[in-house]
Amino acid sequence: MSIASQATDRVIIFDTTLRDGEQSPGATLNAEEKLAIAHQLALLGVDVIEAGFAVSSPGDFQAVKTIAEQVGKAEGPIICSLARATRKDIQAAAEALKPAAHPRIHTMISTSDIHLQYQLKKSRNEVLAIAQEMVAYAKSFVDDVEFSPMDASRTDPEFLYQVLETAIAAGATTINIPDTVGYCTPKEIGILIQGIRENVPHIDRVILSIHTQNDLGLATANALAAIEHGVRQVECTINGIGERAGNAALEEIVMALQVRKHYFNPYFGRSVNSDAPLTNIKTQKIYKTSTLVSQLTGMLIQPNKAIVGANAFAHESGIHQDGIIKHRQTYEIMEAASIGLPENRIVLGKHSGRNAFRTRLKELGFELSEADLNKAFNRFKEVADKKKEISDWDIEALVRDETQNQ
């Protein structure tokens, strides 16, 4: 059964790490690296892997084909290739996807006036005709066809509705709405999706999807706003990598839907307290996937990156550390283990308090009297003023120093 007819009660995760993600400057991957990431994405539980842009190079064609062969098994994810709305692109995508059990062609054409005038140099009527013809052409190869009107969020809504109606009539099964230049705010995304749902005939027969770029740092917020307005597929990448400032980060969308499930449930017609997951993602595999993508693309993860950054589960201030030691939920809304990290991290530094210091000493095997603890703590604060982070080795050294000097 095609995913389009079975998935409206959850969010379909369409991962485009290997296509849009790879468009990050400097993040080029070879076919072997793409295959390793594709295997990991399948283990993570993504529903769709956009494996590449088959026509763009012989290497990408081969990568899509190999992923289609080795990851696109009957029980595996949908394998997708991007294709501009041209016969040559669609033929290349169809050929590369042949070995996949569930192939999808994702075809796109720009629809905003600024793209039509300066980039495509085509009239609206010409774009309408191309969309109709190329969706039908893609459909002659595969059942599962996704259509994207590029720069949708800056397109005249009346024209956008017309293009989408045409693509659906020609056989598109997923309609994806790209905020190509990351221009919208969450409220505007809501209005855009609402308008599409109210004005495009038969929109309820297809899966409605969102693709948000992060130019204003709003990609995740925009994707979540779209979900609240009825979108049921989200296009995203691991670590949020992608063209320019990147895409919505898979781990952020998935963990927002998981941690705030009770908030999102009513948008899916579920009872508020339902505990059924809103995606198929095995969240405990997020950290491993994130690390693999970072290593293979060479794209470092900023320490304060939500969910997967080195500091995402680290606590430095004394007040926070004291709370965490007493009860984890005082300052943690999710557990490190839920993304596959063994534990959170108490970082000892100049903001740390006595309770965190005492706890670390116990972990290191030191049982100090209250008076010794006070002395060691004062020494620790002096050292902490000079260093960014105090290691276990520093602590052992200063405790031994303190006790030997008695």
Closest CB to ligand KIV among 93 and 108?
108
**DSSP type of residue 302:** P
Using CB under 6 A, which of 3, 14, 20, 153 touches ligand KIV?
Answer: 20
Checking phi first, is residue 103 left (phi over 0); if not, alpha (psi -120 to 50) or beta? beta
Q: CA 300 to CA 296: how far, in whole Å? A: 10
> Other C-beta atoms within 10 Å of 187: how many?
11
Q: Tell me the window of 95-103, 172-180, 192-200, 305-313 that interacts with ligand KIV (CB under 6 A).
A: 172-180
Q: Please report whether residue 218 would count as binding ligand KIV according to CB under 6 A.
A: no
Using CB under 6 A, which of 108, 189, 208, 399 touches ligand KIV?
Answer: 108
The CB-of-198 to ligand KIV minimum distance in angstroms stands at: 23
Extended strands (E) in 217-280:
233-236
Q: CA 150 to CA 130: how far, in whole Å? A: 13
CA end-to-end span of the chain, whole Å? 76
Q: Please report whether residue 178 would count as binding ligand KIV according to CB under 6 A.
A: yes
The CB-of-211 to ligand KIV minimum distance in angstroms stands at: 4
Closest CB to ligand KIV among 173 and 321?
173
The CB-of-133 to ligand KIV minimum distance in angstroms stands at: 18
Structural tokens at position 128: 């309408």
365-371: long-range contacts (C-beta < 8 A, 24 or more apart)?
366/399, 368/399, 368/403
Q: Please report whether residue 214 would count as binding ligand KIV according to CB under 6 A.
A: no
The CB-of-7 to ligand KIV minimum distance in angstroms stands at: 19
Q: Please report whether residue 171 would count as binding ligand KIV according to CB under 6 A.
A: no
23-28: long-range contacts (C-beta < 8 A, 24 or more apart)?
23/242, 23/243, 24/241, 24/242, 24/243, 24/246, 24/297, 24/299, 26/298, 26/299, 27/241, 27/297, 27/298, 27/299
Q: Which residues pair with 81 in a beta bridge?
A: 52, 105
Instruction: Let me know: does 144 contact 109? Beta carbons within 8 Å.
Output: no
Alpha carbons within 13 angstroms on the beta-carbon side of residue 41 total 31
Q: Please report whether residue 182 would count as binding ligand KIV according to CB under 6 A.
A: no
Q: Please report whether residue 237 would count as binding ligand KIV according to CB under 6 A.
A: no
Q: Please report whether residue 180 would count as binding ligand KIV according to CB under 6 A.
A: yes
Closest CB to ligand KIV among 147 and 161?
147
The CB-of-62 to ligand KIV minimum distance in angstroms stands at: 21
The CB-of-178 to ligand KIV minimum distance in angstroms stands at: 3
Per-residue x/- marks for ligand KIV, 258-297, CB under 6 A?
----------------------------------------
For residues 13-39, one letter each, b for 16 or more C-beta atoms within 10 angstroms of the residue's C-beta and e for the rest, the string is bbbbbbbbbbbbeebebebebbbebbb
Secondary structure, 3-state, 138-205: HHCCCCEEEEEEECHHHCCHHHHHHHHHHHHHCCCCEEEEEECCCCCCHHHHHHHHHHHHHHCCCHHH
Closest CB to ligand KIV among 29 and 255?
29
How many residues bind ligand KIV (CB under 6 A)? The answer is: 10
Using CB under 6 A, which of 102, 211, 232, 320 touches ligand KIV?
Answer: 211
Closest CB to ligand KIV among 63 and 255?
63
Using CB under 6 A, which of 213, 233, 237, 321 touches ligand KIV?
Answer: 213
Q: CA 50 to CA 178: how far, in whole Å? A: 15
Q: Tell me the window of 93-101, 135-143, 173-181, 278-286 that interacts with ligand KIV (CB under 6 A).
A: 173-181
The CB-of-150 to ligand KIV minimum distance in angstroms stands at: 5
Q: Which residues would be at the binding site for ligand KIV (CB under 6 A)?
A: 20, 82, 108, 148, 150, 176, 178, 180, 211, 213
